[in-house]
Amino acid sequence: MEIKGTIYRIAGPVVTVIDVPTKMYDVVKVGKEGLMGEVIGIEGNKSIIQVYEDTSGIAPGEPVENTEMPLSVELGPGLLESIYDGIQRPLPVLKDKMGDFIERGVAAPGLDREKRWEFTPIITKGTEVAGGDIIGTVPEGHIEHRIMVPPNVSGIVDDIKKGSFTVTDCVCTLTDGTEITLMQKWPVRKSRPVRKKLMPDVPLITGQRILDGLFPVAKGGTAAIPGPFGSGKTVTQQQLAKWSDTEIVVYIGCGERGNEMADVLNEFPELVDPKTGSPLMERTVLIANTSNMPVAAREASVYTGITIAEYYRDMGYDVSLMADSTSRWAEAMREISSRLEEMPGEEGYPAYLAARLSEFYERAGRVETLSGATGSVTVIGAVSPPGGDFSEPVTQNTLRIVKVFWALDSKLSQRRHFPSINWLESYSLYTTVLADWYNENVSTEWPLLRNEAMEILQKESELQEIVQLVGSDALPDDQQLTLEVARMIREYFLQQNAYHPVDTFCKMDKQYRMMKAIMKYSDLANTALESGIPLEDIISVKSKDELAKVKFEAEFDKRMDDILSTMDKEFEEMRGRSK
């Protein structure tokens, strides 16, 4: 039955309609062209709708039709390698239909209805199944796509087939007549159910030394990367997508400039996945909602992305979700809020900004799924504060929610120090809960080495104020040595070349050995200084300079052993000369 009404008022993407019964978040078709929209408010017989497409040209009196369904995404084989807009319309399909510019009112299913997939059941007739149970598998790229019973379905299997099917074909029938297909739909604003949330006590290994070494994020954790233009947000997110030990990557380009999103769309298919040797795109879902696309669809894009991430999590996979950037998402909320004539909060953002950000980030987590597997969604949100001002509302509200803060610094990027993450402003609240993992899998010394390195970097910051006034030569020898060790930590350990074939990824045992070597030099140097050996001799040891090059060596362990034995000999000779 069609439920129709008419347009009463139009204010940009916000349209008021009358005489159409609606529920909150129902999807409606607006105007003669059937523009897609969503109910965001109800006042008597008036429904307020945010339209996901450009509303220019539509007029009061045009018809409105209610689909009586919430905004949902299609979940099933074929998501990987796809490029969608904010409401899961496949952009390559739309391009084939109408060229480079999307016309209004055009719809296309999120999953290909023609492509056939090889389904292999893992259960038999008579098996009792419940929501989230895995009934079979479909090969999708390099992963096994696990076909699950929809969360709200349960019963006894009456028939299950093996063979080649499209996503809409029935592969399993329950005794009550319920048909299960390879595809399921899920409303984007509702988080998918899990059995229970687990402690975030396993780190997300990224291979980036400043992240793994000083400011780790846990699997199922939340992190924010705020930074001004040109400070390296996109390269950092690409490194995380490429090297983090997750099976699936969901990348949301939310309100970014078209040329930045074009770079991502061009680069991701060319990036090689180090685990499989195939293009990284084969385990990636891209959601592209650029700044010139309608703002309402931008507001929906983050929910579309997190729902797809939760779907792969429910199969038992670790998923990393990159949202670039949540600032543009907040700007879309601000624009829609002003059209609704709501009372503005700080800097014009809606009063519910913090609540919406919290709702999004709390869908991250490491969980026990309904089928008993363990999966995780790690959310890493880029924030683009205007003018690099971290005191603005989006950054501040994000900081209250996330547990890891990687502060990008334009001054570091100008000095060509990459990743340009400021080690004095950044922090991670996961270090304590992850300590046991590092003790078991890296070394019991690791937390101590990390703390020692942070202390030296903080001392350097304090000493720099004096150095700028009187120069480093005026400092006592022990403080000059502290500055030298801090420089080694910064340049040898924290700096990392994303484009070098060896240095782009650094394993945890390599990170441990590099940090231990720097701290060994620090201990030997301080002991030598106390015994009266001149500072110039201590600083001029050749093995110290060799530590700068070892991170680029393919034969790292052998080279590091040679450097450490040389260092012992050099300090032994110095002590012999001073006697």
250: in domain: yes
- Whether residues 327 and 220 share a domain: the answer is yes
Residues 404 and 260 in one domain: yes
Burial group, residue 376, by CB count within 10 angstroms (0-12, 13-18, 19+): buried
- Clarify whether residues 255 and 165 are in a common domain: no
Q: Which domain holds residue 116?
A: 112-182
Q: Do residues 330 and 370 lie in contact, with contact meaning Cβ atoms separated by under 8 Å?
A: no
- Give the pair of three-digit tokens for residue 2: 């069609």
Cα dihedral 31→35→38→43 (10° resolution): -10
Residues with Cβ within 8 Å of residue 393, at least 6 apart in sequence: 330, 345, 346, 347, 349, 353
Residue 357 domain-assigned (yes or no):
yes
Contact (CB, 8 A) for 87 and 52? yes
Q: Say how far apart CA 102 and CA 334 lie, in whole Å.
A: 25
Provide the whole-model pTM.
0.92
- Domain with residue 513: its CATH number is 1.10.1140.10
DSSP output for 139-207? EETTEEEEEE--TT--EEEEEE--EEE-TTSEEEEETTS-EEES-EEEETTSPPP-SEE----SB---S
What is the average pLDDT across 14-27? 91
User: Is residue 501 a part of any domain in this protein?
Assistant: yes
Whether pLDDT at 567 is above 60: yes
Residue 265 shares a structural domain with residue 243: yes
- d(CA 420, CA 409) in angstroms, rounded, equals 6
Is 99 contained in some domain? no
Which residues have C-beta within 8 Å of that of residue 23, sequence separation ≥ 6? Answer: 39, 68
Residues 50 and 86 in one domain: no
| Phi, psi dihedrals of residue 520, rounded to the nearest 5° | -65, -45
Report if residue 352 sits inside a domain: yes
Say yes or no: 354 and 471 in one domain.
no
CA distance 334 to 315: 36
CATH (domain of 276): 3.40.50.300
Query: Does residue 494 share a domain with residue 360?
Result: no
More confident residue, 280 or 52: 52
Domain limit, last residue, from 182, 206, 234: 182
Question: Comparing C-alpha atoms, which of 71, 87, 68, 66 is closest to residue 17?
Answer: 66
Residue 88 and residue 64 in one domain: no
Query: Which among 182, 213, 231 is the end of a domain?
Result: 182
User: What's the number of domains the chain is made of?
Assistant: 4
- % helix, strand, coil for the chain, step of 5: 40, 25, 35
pLDDT at 2: 58
Output the average pLDDT for the chain.
90
Rounded to whole angstroms, how far apart are CA atoms 220 and 198?
9
Percent of the chain residues topping a pLDDT of 90: 66
Confidence tier at 579 by pLDDT (50, 70, 90): low
In tens, the pLDDT along 172-217 reads: 999 999 999 999 999 999 999 999 999 999 999 999 999 999 999 9
The predicted pLDDT at position 291 comes to 75
151 with 276, same domain: the answer is no
Given 141, 156, 182, the domain boundary residue is 182
pLDDT in tens, 537-558: 999 999 999 999 999 999 999 9
Residues 86 and 117 placed together within one structural domain of the fold = no
Q: Has residue 555 been placed in a domain?
A: yes
Cα distance between residue 28 and residue 113, in whole Å? 23
**Pair (356, 412) in one structural domain:** yes
For residue 525, is it within any domain?
A: yes
Q: Decide if 322 contacts 249 (C-beta within 8 A).
A: yes
Which of 40-44, 420-424, 426-430 bottoms out in mean pLDDT, i.e. has the lowest? 40-44
- Cα dihedral 271, 272, 276, 277 sign: positive
- Mean pLDDT computed over 298-315: 94
pLDDT, tens only, 234-287? 788 878 888 888 999 999 988 777 777 777 777 777 777 777 778 888 889 999
**SS3 sequence of 372-406:** CCEEEEEEEEEECCHHHCCCCHHHHHHHHHCCEEC
**Neighbouring residues of 345: CB distance < 8 A, sequence distance ≥ 6:** 351, 353, 393
pLDDT at 367 over 90: yes
Closest listed residue to residue 234, CA positions, set 324, 112, 111, 146: 324
103, part of any domain:
no
The pLDDT of 455-482, averaged and rounded, is 90
* Claim to verify: residue 394 and residue 292 sit in the same structural domain: yes
pLDDT of residue 300: 87
Q: pLDDT-derived band of residue 430, with 50, 70 and 90 as boundaries?
A: very high
Residue 1 banded pLDDT, cuts 50, 70, 90: very low
